[in-house]
Amino acid sequence: MTIRRRLALAAAIAVAVAVAAASLASYLAVRTRLQGDVDDSLRQQVQRVLDGGPAGRLPPGALRGGRAVGAPQMYVRVVAPGSLGPGRADSGAGTLRLPVTERDEAVAAGTAPAYFWDAEVEGVPLRGITAPIAHGVAIEFARPVDEVQSLLSGLGIILLVVTGAGIAVGAGLGWVVSGRALRPVTDFTAETEALAGEDDLSRRLPVVGRDEIARLAAVFNGALDQVEASAGAQRRLVADASHELRTPLASLRANIEVLQQHGSLPPDEHDALLRDVVEQTDELSALVTDIVRAGETAVREDEAQDVRLDEITVAVIGRVRRLHPGITVLQDLAPVVVDGVPERLGRLVANLLDNAVKWTPPDQPIEVTLHDRTLTVRDHGPGFSEEDLPHVFERFYRSTDARGTPGSGLGLAIVRQVAGMHGAVATAGNAPGGGALITVHFPGP
């Protein structure tokens, strides 16, 4: 069921409940009022009898020809001991056989109070009262209520018709109003369906007004912005990766084809070519690993933990010293705990130090400091040129001087990416006195 139909049905049900409740309340109010008028007239007749004379006898003039003076058509019967059973009740229009019950005799005997009753005698609906008028004597007044019942029946039919019409009108108005109210939703749905059927991620939904639909459209456009940015980054990564992989694969293929020509190379050249193939394979493996890491975008909650960044930095510095015995690394590290993934933070520190090792002369140190949740790595190489500085964290970007050195151009890009995963900010610049200076500032706890 569509939202419009659900709203129209809800409106119809709400109108039905409201109209039915109002009709029922009106019917009960009219019935109570009419029945109250009948009961008042019956009380008045009893009171006239009581006010007409001394106890023990009916007052003269209270009844004339069996009809109460000044009252609508009524039947009257005196109840005395031994009256139990059907008896004649007189009226100005005739007689009816009104029964006398044990309760009526109890009222006459004074052991039960007066009461109203309803009965149908000889096809005539009656509303009556039995009340004591003297010791051992009670009187019954009964009044036909066929006109009242006819009026209530007619009123019931009218109210049923009004209720049905109200429900129909409510359903129709609900359908019309829901259609107008849901028109922005319908337009929004049509726009999103049209957008979903296209490959153009640059298309956006119109944002009109400040209602919930406009806010939803704005949020949807924001999601499309993220999808477009992610798709663009993915396309760039694939294009850059294919470009970077093409050269080492071509070189590796050429070397393998030469090695397939048995006996065509001297032994020393053959061994040198084999070593070159192994080195190229290692570089290709490192490049693929960097590409995979560059595709990582977020840290899962189950991976994050409290990590001592200073201990990770010490471990990475130890590996650098073992791999590069001629490099001096000076460290000044304060204890720092960050929320993150140890392996990725280790990759961040390792890439920073690998970049510093690549540019630091053998007789110059690399300075690593960690204070106030800020990790700083400084080398004493040539530093960044002004034209390269804005691009040092871009994927596969390599400066002119770096194109002759091993590497994929992903090291610092991974640094910035891992930093962003942990809410940190990576910046690059040149240190006073020369050399590159890269800092990574981690947010506070």
Give the pLDDT score at 59: 43
- Residues 309-326 have a mean pLDDT of 90
Q: Which residue has the tokens 């002119």?
A: 400
Question: Residue 389: its pLDDT value, please?
Answer: 85
> Could you tell me the residue ranges of all domains in the chain?
3-151, 212-294, 305-441
pLDDT of residue 269: 77
User: Predicted confidence band at 323 (pLDDT cuts at 50, 70, 90)?
Assistant: confident
Cβ-based neighbour number of residue 16 at 10 Å: 17
Distance CA 432, CA 415 (A): 23
**Nearest alpha carbon to residue 337 among 315, 371, 299, 306:** 306
pLDDT digits (tens, 9 = 90+) for 19-55: 889 999 999 999 899 999 999 989 988 888 888 744 4
Task: Identify which of 135, 106, 108, 104 has the alpha carbon closest to the alpha carbon of residue 117.
Answer: 104
Domains 212-294 and 305-441 share a fold: no
Please tell me the class of the 305-441 domain: alpha beta
More confident residue, 221 or 23: 23
Class of domain 212-294: mainly alpha
* Cβ 59 vs Cβ 52: under 8 Å: yes
- Give the per-residue pLDDT at 157: 93
Q: Are 185 and 193 in contact (CB under 8 A)?
A: no
Q: What is the pLDDT of residue 69?
A: 39
